[in-house]
Structure 1
Amino acid sequence: MSTRIGLSTSSMYPENCAAAFAMAARLGYDGIEVMVWTDPVSQEAGALRVLSGLHGIPVVSVHAPTLLLTQRVWGADPWDKVDNSIILAQELGAATVVLHPPFRWQREYAAEFVDGVALREHDTGIRLAVENMFPWRARGRELYAYLPHWDPVDQPFDHVTLDLSHTATAGSDAMDMARALGERLTHVHLADGAGSPRDEHLVPGRGSQPCGELLGHLAETGYEGDIVVEVGTRRLSEEEREADLAQALAFARLHYEPVGRVRST
C-alpha cells in the first residue's frame, strides 16, 4: 500500500464531515480520516460513501469515538464503540481504526483491552492502531489517566498510531518512539506542539516536534501506513483554516519523499 496524506475531519471542527471532504478535495489531500463524533454523518457509512464518491476522496481510516467528548456516541459500552468503528471501516474500505487506550476508570475494559484488540484484528483484518497519549497534569502533579499506559511502545500492540501533538504534551521523544516501534508504527497523526500541558495540535513546523525529521525517517525506512493531518482550526476564519490546512499538506509533501519517488518539476 502506498502512503497517502489524509485530512482528519477533526481538523475542520466545528465544521462537519461534508465540509471536510470538500476541503480535502479542494486542497489535494489523498484521503480522509473520519473522526466519529456527534455529527450524524460521521456515524453513517452510506452518507460517507456519498461524500467520498462526490469528491473522489477515499476514507483511509476511522477514529473510534473513544475521547472524553464522544463518550455518549454509540452508547456507553467501549467495545460497542470499537466494534461499530470496525464495521464502519469495513463498509468504507478503510484499513485502519484508530483508538485511544482505556481511561483508568474503565477497569473492566482495560483488563480486556490488549486481548480484545488482538482478537478483533485477527477476526476482521482491520488494523486497530492504538494511539500514544500523555499524562494529565494538574497543580504540578502528573495523573496517569490511561491503562495499560499512555505510551504504547512497551505494550504488546501490533499496530500503533504516533501523534506528534501528544508527544509534545507528554514530553516524549518522537524519533525514539518511531525507531522503537519499527514496523508496528502503522499510522501517523501529523501535528505539532510546543510542550504545553494542553494538547495543542499545531500546524507542523510551528512547534518543537521533529515533524520533518520523522517524515524523512518514514520515507527512508519504507513506511507503508498513512499520514493524517490532525490540527486544530476551531478559532480560525474560513480563509485562515484553508490556509493552515494547505500549509500542513505542503509540509507533509515536502518532507515525506519515499526512496525511488521522482519529485515532479
Structure 2
Amino acid sequence: MKWSYSSNAYMRFSLEETARRIAAIGFQGLELLADVPHAWPAGLLPQTAAAIRGIIESSGLAIANINAFMMNAVADPRQPYWHPSWIEPSAEYRAIRREHTKRAIELAAALGAPGLQTEPGGPIPPGYSRRHALQIFYDELMPCVEIAERRNVNLLIEPEPDLLIEHPEQYLEFAERVGSPRLGLNFDIGHFFCVGEEPARWVPLLASHTRHYHIEDIPPDRRHSHLVPGRGAIDLAAVLRAICETGYQGWITVELYPYIDQPDEAGAEALAYLKRLSAETPA
C-alpha cells in the first residue's frame, strides 16, 4: 500500500518544512492543501507552482492528491471547511467555491497530481429542498467537470456527515447523473463510519468509483472527530483487507488535521500502526 499524509495537519508550518517532516516520518506521498499556508490557488503564478513541485520532489515525496475541500483563506466565520459551499443561497458567494475548484484543477495538472477532492455540496440551506440543492450543486460543478476532462485530472467528491451527500448511495446517484469518467470518489473511511455505514462493506461496491482514500479513526459514538488510526472504533483491519482484495494500487492518505499541535507524533503513530496492520491482515 502507498501511504501519504495530508499537509492539512501542518497548518503552522511552511510547505517546505511540512514536506521535510512528512518525508522524515517515512511517508511516500503528500496530499497538498490547496489553501493557506501551502498552496492557495488564487493568484498562484506559474513559477510558484513550479517551486511547489520542486519542494515536494526534492523531499523525495510524490503528490498523492490535492485537497481542495478546505478554504480557510476565505475566513468564513461559520465554518472554515464547508464554506463557501457549492449550494450557498448567494450565487456570487458559491462562485467563489466554483472558481477555487477550477484553479485547483489547473494546479493539479501543473503539478502532475492525479486529482483533487472537493466537498459534497455543503450544508443544505434553510428552506431548500434536497432536490433544489442537488440541482444547484450539479449546475455549479459541471463547468469544473469539463475542465477536469480537458486537463485529464480526477475531480473527486468526498461525502461527509451533515452535508448534501453523506451516504454511498447518494454519491452513486449523483455520479450517475454527471456521467463523467473524470468524476470519482474520495472514499473517506471515517466519514462513512460516522453516518452509520460499515466502510469495509462499501469498499468493493464503490471500487470502480474510488480514486483515492482518506483514512483516520473515529470514536465509538461515531462523532465526526478524526483520531489517529488505532485509537477509535473502526475495524481498520477489515477495511484494509477489503481494499487489498479490490486490487487498488493508488494512495491512501492519513488525514489528521485536528493534530496541528503534534502533527509529527500523530503521523508517525498512524503510519506505524497502519503498516503493522496491513502486514498482519494480507488480502
> For residues 114-149 of structure 1, what are the alpha-carbon distances to aligned partners after superposition, in whole Å with 9 as ceiling and x for unaligned?
6456434432211112112112xxxxxxxxx42xx2
Which of 5, 8, 22 aligns to 2:6? It is 8
Aligned mates of 2:195, 2:144 — CA distance in 1: 24
Which of 154, 166, 173 aligns to 1:155? It is 173
Aligned mates of 1:86, 1:12 — CA distance in 2: 22
Aligned mates of 1:168, 1:127 — CA distance in 2: 24
Residues 101 and 144 in structure 2, CA contact (< 8 A), matched pair in contact too: no
Residues 217 and 234 in structure 2, CA contact (< 8 A), matched pair in contact too: yes
Partner of 1:134: 161
| TM-score (normalizing by structure 1) | 0.79
Give the SS at the match of 1:219: helix
Give the SS at the match of 1:34: strand
Q: From the superposition, tell whether residues 50 and 235 of structure 1 become closer, same or farther in structure 2 (CA, over 3 Å).
A: closer
Partner of 2:240: 215
Q: Percent identity?
A: 20
Deviates more, 1:10-19 or 1:242-251: 10-19
Give the SS at the match of 1:79: helix
Residues 168 and 196 in structure 1, CA contact (< 8 A), matched pair in contact too: no
Q: How does 1:149-188 map to 2 (within 5 A)?
A: 149-153=165-169, 154-157=172-175, 158-188=183-213
Partner of 1:33: 31
Aligned mates of 2:247, 2:278 — CA distance in 1: 11
Matched positions, count: 243
Structural RMSD (CA): 3.0
| TM-score (normalizing by structure 2) | 0.74
Q: State whether structure 2 residue 274 is matched by structure 1 residue 252.
A: yes
Q: 1:100, CA displacement in angstroms?
A: 1.2
Q: How does 1:1-265 map to 2 (within 5 A)?
A: 4-39=2-37, 41-43=39-41, 44=44, 45-66=49-70, 68-69=79-80, 71=83, 77=95, 78-103=97-122, 104-105=124-125, 107=133, 109-112=136-139, 115-116=142-143, 118-135=145-162, 145-146=163-164, 149-153=165-169, 154-157=172-175, 158-196=183-221, 198-234=223-259, 236-237=261-262, 241-256=263-278
Residues 63 and 99 in structure 1, CA contact (< 8 A), matched pair in contact too: yes
Give the SS at the match of 2:98: helix
Residues 22 and 264 in structure 2, CA contact (< 8 A), matched pair in contact too: no
Residues 167 and 195 in structure 2, CA contact (< 8 A), matched pair in contact too: no
Q: From the superposition, tell whether residues 37 and 118 of structure 1 become closer, same or farther in structure 2 (CA, over 3 Å).
A: closer
Residues 171 and 195 in structure 1, CA contact (< 8 A), matched pair in contact too: no
Q: From the superposition, tell whether residues 152 and 86 of structure 1 become closer, same or farther in structure 2 (CA, over 3 Å).
A: farther
Q: 1:260, CA displacement in angstroms?
A: 10
Residues 41 and 47 in structure 1, CA contact (< 8 A), matched pair in contact too: no
Q: From the superposition, tell whether residues 195 and 128 of structure 1 become closer, same or farther in structure 2 (CA, over 3 Å).
A: farther
Q: 1:8, CA displacement in angstroms?
A: 0.2
Give the SS at the match of 1:53: helix
Gap runs ≥5 in structure 2: 72-78, 85-92, 126-131, 176-182
Aligned mates of 1:86, 1:133 — CA distance in 2: 21
Give the SS at the match of 2:4: strand
Aligned mates of 1:53, 1:195 — CA distance in 2: 38
Letter paired with 2:270? A
Partner of 2:87: none
Q: From the superposition, tell whether residues 169 and 203 of structure 1 become closer, same or farther in structure 2 (CA, over 3 Å).
A: same
Deviates more, 1:9-18 or 1:174-183: 9-18
Gap runs ≥5 in structure 1: 136-144
Give the SS at the match of 1:155: helix
